[in-house]
Amino acid sequence: MITATFHKYTLQFKRPSGTSRGILKTKGTFFIILSDGVKEGIGECGVFKGLSADDRPDYEEKLQWTCKHINLGLEKLLEELIEFPSIQIGLEQAFLSLKSADRFELFPSQFLTHQDPIDINGLIWMGDKQFMKSQIQDKIENGFTCIKMKIGAIDFEEELQLLKHIRKEFSPADIELRVDANGAFAPENALEKLKRLSDFNLHSIEQPIKQGQFEAMAKLCETTPLAIALDEELIGVFSKVEKEELLQRINPQYIILKPTLVGGFKGSEEWITFAEEKNIGWWITSALESNVGLNAIAQWTYTLQSNMPQGLGTGSLFTNNFDSPLEVKNGKLQYNSSKAWEFNLKK
């Protein structure tokens, strides 16, 4: 017999972080704790306010329902919670954690045993030109060979100047550059902006226009001089049929999978299957989870054996994150098992 409880936790940003949706100072999250009377299992439900499909008034009510019905078992619960992807991934983690010898080691692999690292991109947060410039310099000095820059918040011409500055010093062979527009461009001028961005030999652009504009996005993906990666477009697409239809209709160059937002590990693997059938590339990104969620997503990502840099470097953003063996070194995420976990919800 398993018992379950959930706990709310507020992560505090070290520095207010800018996105095209505004400035983030805090990030709420929830933890599901399972117990079989002997051991505990932990999972993070990292609902993302204003972005998650399950950012709904009945979210905590659904968490209560989940805890009450925990003995339905994981498979049945995942079916029942299809519209609550962040609860799905919390449960996937918690059940794996309960079964594991170490509650934080969920996917046995060389990532855990041999500190075999995962290549990740360095994330540049939005801000004024000087702040973005200093972040870029910092990432390069810290060994990143792939940088992802959020654009769409400051003047477009200034953003182009930043990219020009990077490219003047670093060739595409030195630094892979990705940009993320978070839907900031208008459909009528998006293609023109993509043409200008393509001058800087960028790897790709995430979500150039807002999600839900299927015809406009499909046309952009067909005519773009710069590879397009769908991100927000995948949020709220729950069934296998809908997933396959969306990829068929838009036919992007890449998709970006945030497991917390797109149905956990199982839901993400469905997207990957459909994408690979259509020769669409993919990579995995965390979504401002604490180190508990990031750890689970990183371990799972390692098992997929992708050779692309992944978006898994957000653990250092918060003042009250949980101490963990996760370390970012030379542009890579690794698991240093000589470091201990400290999971304390009163932190």
The β-bridge relationship of strands 118-119 and 146-150 is unpaired
Quick: pLDDT tens for 229-252.
999 999 999 999 999 999 999 999
CA–CA separation, 177 and 171 (whole Å): 10
Would you state the pLDDT for residue 310?
Answer: 97
Q: What is the mean pLDDT of residues 271-299?
A: 97
Please state, as a whole number, how many other Cβ atoms lie within 10 Å of the Cβ of residue 164.
11
Quick: pLDDT tens for 118-167.
999 998 877 777 887 888 889 989 999 999 998 887 789 989 998 998 88
| CATH number, span 3-99 | 3.30.390.10
Boundaries of every domain in the chain? 3-99, 110-335
Would you state the pLDDT for residue 147?
Answer: 93
Question: CATH assignment of 110-335, given 3.20.20.120, 1.20.1250.20, 3.40.50.2000, 1.10.150.20?
Answer: 3.20.20.120
C-alpha distance from residue 339 to each of 112, 320, 342 (Å): 12, 17, 10
The residue behind tokens 């011409």 is 157
The residues annotated with a catalytic role in the active site are 150, 258
Interior/surface letters 180-219, b for 16+ CB within 10 angstroms, e for the rest: bbbbbbeeeebbebbebbeebebbbbbbbbbbebeebbee
CA–CA separation, 57 and 123 (whole Å): 31
Minimal CA–CA distance to 148: which of 120, 186, 185?
Answer: 120
Strand-pairing partners, residue 156, are none
Quick: pLDDT tens for 159-190.
999 899 888 888 998 899 999 998 999 999 99
Q: What are phi and psi of 252, to 5 degrees?
A: -75, 170
8 Å CB contact between 32 and 91: yes
Would you state the pLDDT for residue 165?
Answer: 86
Q: What are phi and psi of 222, to 5 degrees?
A: -75, -35
CA–CA separation, 34 and 331 (whole Å): 34
Q: Is 224 helix (H, G, I), strand (E, B) or coil?
A: coil
pTM to 2 decimal places: 0.95
Would you state the pLDDT for residue 21?
Answer: 60
Query: In which order are the strands placed within the sheet that holds 204-206?
Result: 122-124, 146-150, 176-180, 204-206, 228-230, 254-257, 281-284
Would you state the pLDDT for residue 319?
Answer: 94
In eight-state DSSP terms, residue 199 is G
Minimal CA–CA distance to 281: which of 183, 178, 198?
Answer: 178
Interior/surface letters 255-276, b for 16+ CB within 10 angstroms, e for the rest: bbbbbbbbbbbebbeebbebbe
